[in-house]
Amino acid sequence: MEKLTVLPYTPQLEALFTIIRNKDTKRNEFLFYSERIIRLLIEEALNHLPTQEKIITTPTGTKFTGSEFVGKLCAVPIVRAGESMEKAVREVCRAIRIGKILIQRDEETAQPKLIYHKLPQDISKRHVLLLDPMLATGGSVCKAIEVLKHNGVPEEKIIFINLISAPEGITTFQNYAPGVKIITGFIDPKLNEKAYIIPGLGDFGDLYFGT
Ligand code: PRP
Ligand code: URA
């Protein structure tokens, strides 16, 4: 499978992105529609987890050859904005383990700073869904990958899920962690001089949390 997956730009997805990118969208609408896109992303990410064959019997008494997921999972939001993606993960993976990595980008220099992390003890044995809605320069997510690798998680067991990516961030990320899969909703054309994604949607964390 390819390392980079972009959600198919269906009429539905286009309409959802149009709402969340609109500067006139009210906060409750932003929450509702961004969470719909996040749900699509999480569902797509699950397609990239390993499965094995499973044969069951249907109520008609007939055998059916299907599949089941194998292995253990963990979700790790990059706090703060990544926490917006936690709800959708919990809805599809009940009782999933959740780690946290708190990274903040300096508003002037756009350099990421690692402030805190707490991960399940056995994280090295789990597949990790790394969550952050925005991939701009790629600095924050690379720092998060560094933390995961330091805790024994191989690149091949990490899936990074985000809503909007900038090409610069994708290149930086793929050079830094070529074994990690990326699932993104859309690739925007560029960054501006303040390292914001253009056209983007502004500061996702501020919009989502209302700060
Ligand atoms: C945002 C976003 C990413 C990061 C992306 O977080 O959620 O973590 O910026 O930028 P980068 O690719 O250039 O590193 P921010 O640090 O603004 O904090 P927030 O989660 O509190 O909004
Ligand atoms: N973080 C955001 O929330 N938006 C951007 O455009 C870049 C970083």
| Residue-wise pLDDT tens digits, 109-121 | 989 999 999 999 9
Domain of residue 22: give its range. 4-209
Q: Residues 6 or more apart from 104 whose CB is under 8 A from it?
A: 80, 112, 113, 115
Intra-chain end-to-end CA distance of the chain, in Å: 39
Alpha helices by DSSP H, listed for 3-138, are 11-21, 27-46, 86-92
* Pocket-forming residues, ligand 2, beta carbon under 6 Å: 81, 134, 136, 196-197, 200, 203-205
The Cα–Cα gap between 70 and 143 comes to 28
Number of domains in the chain: 1
Does the beta carbon of 138 sit less than 6 angstroms from any atom of ligand 1? yes
Q: How far is the CA of 49 from the centre of ligand 2 (A)?
A: 28
Helix%, strand%, coil% for the chain, nearest 5: 35, 30, 30
What are the helix (H) ranges across 84-135? 86-92
What average pLDDT does the structure give for the chain? 97
Answering whether pTM is above 0.95, one says: yes
Concerning whether 105 is annotated as a catalytic residue, the answer is yes
CA of 203 to the centre of ligand 1 (A): 8
- Average pLDDT in the 6-31 region? 98
The pLDDT of residue 200:
98
Q: Over the stretch 131-159, which tens digit does the pLDDT of each residue have?
A: 999 999 999 999 999 999 999 999 999 99
Residue 92's nearest CA partner among 52, 42, 132, 47 is 42
CATH, residue 129 = 3.40.50.2020
